[in-house]
C-alpha cells in the first residue's frame, strides 16, 4: 500500500472535535500518520493514543512541527503533496486520482480548515476537489482515501488490537483479544 | 436519483461544528434534506440557509422532530432506513450496498453520535459499517453517499446558485452568477 500521511493545518482548541474526526478518519482510512502542524494539543494526543492502543495498528500523531518544515522534509524524502480544496481539480470529472497514482510516490495530504495559506495551492503537486461544493475536510479526506485505496483500506486488519468489531446485521459484536485468544461478546445496546 | 435524507441524532450545542459538517456533507453528496431530530439550533439553521442561498440547490434542514416520528413518517411514505454504525455489515466486504440499491426505495440515513438508542439497530432495514474501526459520522456519511450514488453526485449542478467554483489546477476560480450572466473571477489566495 502506498504510504499516506495527512497534515492538518489551522487547528485551534475550539476545533477539538473536528480535528479528532480528521485524525480518526485518517487512521481508519489507511493513513500512517497525522501531523498537527504549528500547534500542540495534549487532550487530542491522549484521545488518539487511548483509541489506537485499544484498536491496534501502527498509527502516529505528530504535533507542533511548522507546516513548511513538514512539507520540505516530506519532499526531501521523496514524497508528493496533495492539497484537498474545493477549488482544485474535481476528483469525479478529472483524471487527477489516476495521475496521483501513477506517480507511485508516497503522499502527504494537506487538510486545511476555513482559510489556508495561499502557498498551499502552489506548493501542492495536485490540488484536488471532492466536488465543487463547500462541505467538510473530514468528508474530503475520507472520500479521497477511499478512492485512492479503492476501498481496500476498509478490510485491513489492525495489528495488536485488543478489541475488534465482528460485523453483523443487528446489534453490536465486539471481540476482545487477550494474549492471543479472542472472546466474542454481544454488547448491550 | 434515488432520494436520500439524513437524520442527525444526538446533537448538542457543543457539537455545532461537527453537525455543521454533517449537514454540509449531506447537501454536497446528494441528500435532499437533513433532519436534526429532537432539538433545535438557530445558529445552525442560519449558517446552512446562508450557504444554500449562495451555492444553490434544493436542500432543506428540518429541526426539532422527535426521531421516532420522523422514522415512522418516513416508513409510511414508503422509505427504508439505513443506520450507519461501525457494528453493521461492512460496506467493503459485504453486498449491503447492492441490497440497498435493489430495494429501489428512498432512503433515510441515521447518523448518530457517540451512543445512539439501541432501537436504531432493530428498526433499521440495514446497519451499515464504513469499515470496522471507530472514526467519524461525517466520514461515514460521505463515503456511504459517494458509493451509493457512484460518485455522480459530485458532478451535479446546483440550481439557482449565485456562486460556483470553476475547477482548476492552481488557485481559486469563483464564478459569480448575476441575473443569468456569469462572471469568472480569480480570487486572491
DSSP string, B1-60: ---EEEEE----GGGHHHHHHHHHHHHHTT-SEEEETT---HHHHHHHHHHHHHH-S--E
- Per-residue confidence (pLDDT) for residue A183, from 0 to 100: 76
pLDDT tens by residue, B94-129: 999 999 999 999 999 999 877 899 999 999 999 999
- How far, in Å, CA of A91 to CA of A75, rounded? 23
Q: Where are the beta strands (DSSP E) in A23-178?
A: 33-36, 60-63, 80-90, 107-111, 126-129, 163-165, 172-178
For residues A42-55, give the mean pLDDT. Answer: 97
Tell me the C-alpha distance between B22 and B12, whole Å: 13
A interface test, pick of B22, B50, B142 with most A CB neighbours within 10 Å:
B142
Q: How far apart are CA A140 and CA A127, in angstroms?
A: 12
Q: What is the pLDDT of residues A110-137, one digit of tens each?
A: 998 778 999 999 999 999 999 999 999 9
Specify the DSSP class assigned to residue B142: H
Give which of A154, A4, A135 is closest to B20, Cα–Cα: A135
- Which residues, 6 or more positions from A39, have their beta carbon under 8 angstroms from its beta carbon? A11, A12, A63, A64
Contact B111, B140 (CB under 8 A): yes
Average pLDDT score over chain A = 95
Q: Mark which residues 86-125 of B lie under 8 Å from A by CB.
A: 86-94, 117-119, 121-122
Crossing angle (nearest 10°) for helices A16-28 and A42-55: 30
**Residue A33 confidence (pLDDT):** 98
* Interior angle at CA A18, CA B27 and CA B17, nearest 5: 55
Q: Tell which wins on pLDDT, A112 or A146.
A: A146
pLDDT of A76 higher than 70 = yes
Residue of chain A nearest B117, judged by CA positions: A189
**Rounded to an integer, what distance in angstroms lies between the CA atom of residue A88 and that of residue A71?**
19
CB A108 within 8 A of CB A82: yes
Using a CB–CB cutoff of 8 Å, tell me whether B49 touches chain A.
no
**CB nearest to B154's CB, from A21, A131, A151:** A131
What is residue B178's predicted lDDT score, i.e. its pLDDT? 82
pTM of the model: 0.96
> Nine-digit cell at B49?
440557509
- Determine the residue of chain A that is closest to B57 in CA distance: A133
Mapping DSSP onto H, E and C, the string for A148-181 reads: HCCCHHHHCCCCCCCEEECCCCCCEEEEEEECCE
Collapse the DSSP code of A133 into the 3-class scheme (helix H, G, I; strand E, B; otherwise coil) and give the result.
coil
Q: Which pLDDT tens digits describe chain B residue by residue (189 residues)? A: 899 999 999 999 889 999 999 999 999 999 999 999 999 999 999 999 999 999 999 999 999 999 999 999 999 999 999 999 999 999 999 999 999 999 999 999 999 877 899 999 999 999 999 999 999 999 999 999 999 999 999 999 999 999 999 999 999 999 999 866 777 777 766
Contact present, A140 and A111 (Cβ < 8 Å) = yes
Amino acid at each position: 500500500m502506498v504510504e499516506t500521511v495527512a497534515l492538518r493545518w489551522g487547528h485551534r482548541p475550539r476545533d477539538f472535535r473536528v480535528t479528532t474526526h480528521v485524525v480518526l478518519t485518517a487512521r481508519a482510512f489507511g493513513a500512517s500518520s497525522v501531523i498537527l502542524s504549528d500547534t500542540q494539543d495534549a487532550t487530542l494526543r491522549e484521545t488518539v493514543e487511548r483509541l489506537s492502543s485499544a484498536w491496534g495498528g501502527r498509527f502516529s500523531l505528530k504535533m507542533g512541527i511548522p507546516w513548511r518544515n513538514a512539507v520540505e522534509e516530506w519532499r526531501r524524502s521523496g514524497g508528493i503533496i496533495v492539497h484537498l480544496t474545493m477549488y482544485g481539480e474535481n476528483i469525479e470529472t478529472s483524471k487527477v486520482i489516476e495521475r496521483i497514482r501513477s506517480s507511485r510516490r508516497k503522499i502527504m495530504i494537506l487538510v486545511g480548515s476555513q482559510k489556508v495559506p495561499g502557498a498551499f495551492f502552489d506548493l501542492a503537486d495536485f490540488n484536488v476537489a471532492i466536488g465543487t461544493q463547500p462541505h467538510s475536510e473530514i468528508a474530503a479526506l475520507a472520500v479521497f482515501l477511499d478512492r485512492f485505496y479503492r476501498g481496500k483500506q476498509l478490510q485491513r486488519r489492525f495489528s495488536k488490537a485488543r478489541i475488534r468489531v465482528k460485523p453483523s446485521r443487528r446489534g453490536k459484536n465486539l471481540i476482545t483479544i487477550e494474549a492471543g485468544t479472542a472472546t466474542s461478546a454481544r454488547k448491550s445496546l
